[in-house]
Amino acid sequence: MKKTAMIMVVLLLQGGASGLAADKVHFEDSDFSGDGWGEFIEVPDTGGWVVRRRNLGGLVQGWVQEVTLDTDGGLFMSAGKGSFVSLFRSQGQIYALRTRDGERSLINQIAVDGRIGLRLGFDGAFFIYDYSAGNDWIRLAKSDIIGVVSYTGGISSPNRASGMSDYRIVELGSLKGVPFGYTDTPKIPGTPWVVHDPFRPQPRQINPGSVTPVNNPGIPPSDAIVLFDGTNLDAWEDGKGNEPKWKLGDGYFECQKKSGTIRTKEKFGSVQLHIEWASPAEVKGSSQGRGNSGVFLAGLYEVQVQDNYDNLTYPDGQAGSLYGYRPPRVNACRPPGEWQAYDIIFEMPEFDGGQVVRKAKITVLHNGVVVQHGEEIPGILGHKKTRPYREHGPGHIQLQDHGNPVRYRNIWVRELQPTQ
């Protein structure tokens, strides 16, 4: 990478399906004199590069920043110190950069002189980096996001925006398809959202810290029923009662291609469940195609398992969600390949004469962080639909095969009996 590209990296480290919809301009400022801008921030030892910031808010599908350049400069979006994306020109080269927690990647670059336009923003679950040297926009690069957060953004320049103009924030009709989620599904009872609504607010992404074990599994309580201790799959079967086809590894077991959903041989009602899981260290796919599995209580109520570290999907389908109903309060995912833990308290629904008299209730801690707290479940959870309760008793705890090699370890359960 050229020295000027490295200058931009140092600079920004200082900062914290097509559709038919028409384009909509949310903000424009031809000469950067309007309201809502921060002052120019000069960064020492960068050859005079500066940034000017504005608040961009949460992730919004189809929104982009645009700017026109006669000289050098560009656009950036920051998710906090050490995490940003940038699209800029320096000495005749356009660079597309992505940095997450200080780890920098050059996504692409191209030589372009003369007057150009730059465009940087969101297309569903991805960042897009576009440029124009005439009437048409050209896709230079595409990359994963750098955090489910509120972003700041704006311009970067070696000359306090001299030679830059026509900044604006646009909602592009061409990006208003639904790369993840659905809009033609039933409405979720008690909410304004439909099942798997892509426009539902995204839970913010946090660092969960180290409240629960990461490198080594913990020790179960003395009254727990151990479902997997790292040595065998004796407590599990496939959906037809046969031996499970999941692969047994060194202290874990892993879903294999077409190995099928597995379940406990024993049935359970109200329980405290502890389970640890890890998505693949090598990232493949996006949205629902990345590290996807699920934990089913009583065989009917799913807590989603998925790699949502810097991976957008519909909010009621991400890790820690009550699938198809309630997103987690926050996104507490660790990076791909690291061990994660769910601690789930599940209370069975109660029925009288076939009618539900007390709904199922669930609390979920993801890596020690409360993501669901005493949530009443409105009915049977499922993909793209809502279903009313049907009378049932205890059921199998199930682990879903969704085609991704997700690993599990240290699984135990405590049956919850009524207090006297």
Write the pLDDT tens digit of every residue in 255-304.
998 899 999 999 999 999 999 999 999 988 888 889 999 999 999 999 99
The verdict on residue 132 lying in a domain is: yes
**Which pLDDT value is given to residue 12?**
47
For range 175-181, the mean pLDDT = 77
CATH of the domain at 315: 2.60.120.560
Mean pLDDT of the chain: 89
Burial class (CB in 10 A: 0-12, 13-18, 19+), 31: exposed
Q: How confident is the model at residue 212 (pLDDT cuts 50, 70, 90)?
A: low
Quote the CA–CA distance of 44 and 3 in Å, as a whole number: 15
Query: Of 145, 175, 205, which closes a domain?
Result: 175
Q: Are the CB atoms for 242 and 259 separated by under 8 Å? A: no
The verdict on residue 268 lying in a domain is: yes
The verdict on residue 187 lying in a domain is: no
Tell me: do 52 and 149 sit in the same domain: yes
**Which pLDDT value is given to residue 149?**
84
The verdict on residue 170 lying in a domain is: yes
Tell me: do 153 and 267 sit in the same domain: no
Pull the structure tokens for residue 178.
Answer: 């639904």
Quote the CA–CA distance of 380 and 174 in Å, as a whole number: 36
Rg (CA), the chain: 24
Tell me: do 80 and 161 sit in the same domain: yes
Q: What are 83-122's pLDDT values in tens digits?
A: 999 999 999 999 999 998 888 999 999 999 999 999 999 9
Quote the CA–CA distance of 332 and 369 in Å, as a whole number: 7
Tell me: do 97 and 245 sit in the same domain: no
For range 15-44, the mean pLDDT = 78
Its domain, for residue 171, covers 3-175
**Which pLDDT value is given to residue 21?**
56
Could you tell me which residues are beta bridge partners of residue 127? 122, 143
* pTM, rounded to two decimals: 0.82
Q: Is the pLDDT of residue 61 over 80?
A: no
Of 46-50, 245-249, 373-377, minimum mean pLDDT range? 46-50
Tell me: do 43 and 162 sit in the same domain: yes
Q: What are 131-156's pLDDT values in tens digits?
A: 999 889 999 999 988 888 889 999 99
Burial class (CB in 10 A: 0-12, 13-18, 19+), 406: buried
**Which pLDDT value is given to residue 10?**
42
Q: Which residues contact 396 (CB under 8 A, 6 or more apart)?
A: 263, 264, 265, 266, 267, 268, 296, 298, 299
Query: Of 135, 156, 175, which closes a domain?
Result: 175
Q: Identify the residue with better confidence: 333 or 417.
A: 333
The verdict on residue 214 lying in a domain is: no
Give the rounded percent of residues in the chain with a pLDDT score beyond 70. 93
C-alpha count within 13 angstroms, C-beta hemisphere, residue 119? 22
Tell me: do 35 and 126 sit in the same domain: yes
Q: Are the CB atoms for 208 and 316 separated by under 8 Å? A: no
Query: How many folded domains does the chain comprise?
Result: 2
Q: How confident is the model at residue 204 (pLDDT cuts 50, 70, 90)?
A: confident
Cα distances from 92 to residues 89, 115, 184, in angstroms, run 6, 11, 46
Tell me: do 18 and 146 sit in the same domain: yes
Tell me: do 247 and 385 sit in the same domain: yes
Tell me: do 242 and 122 sit in the same domain: no
Q: Are the CB atoms for 322 and 309 separated by under 8 Å? A: no
Tell me: do 235 and 168 sit in the same domain: no
Query: Chain centroid to CA 391: how far?
Result: 34
Residue type, 309: Y
The verdict on residue 181 lying in a domain is: no
Tell me: do 236 and 171 sit in the same domain: no
Length of the chain: 420
Q: Is the pLDDT of residue 377 over 70?
A: yes
**Which pLDDT value is given to residue 48?**
83
The verdict on residue 15 lying in a domain is: yes
Quote the CA–CA distance of 25 and 383 in Å, as a whole number: 35
Give the DSSP H or E segment for 116.
Answer: strand 116-123
The verdict on residue 190 lying in a domain is: no
Q: Identify the residue with better confidence: 46 or 294.
A: 294
**Which pLDDT value is given to residue 257?**
87
Query: Of 134, 155, 175, which closes a domain?
Result: 175
**Which pLDDT value is given to residue 94?**
97
Tell me: do 145 and 45 sit in the same domain: yes
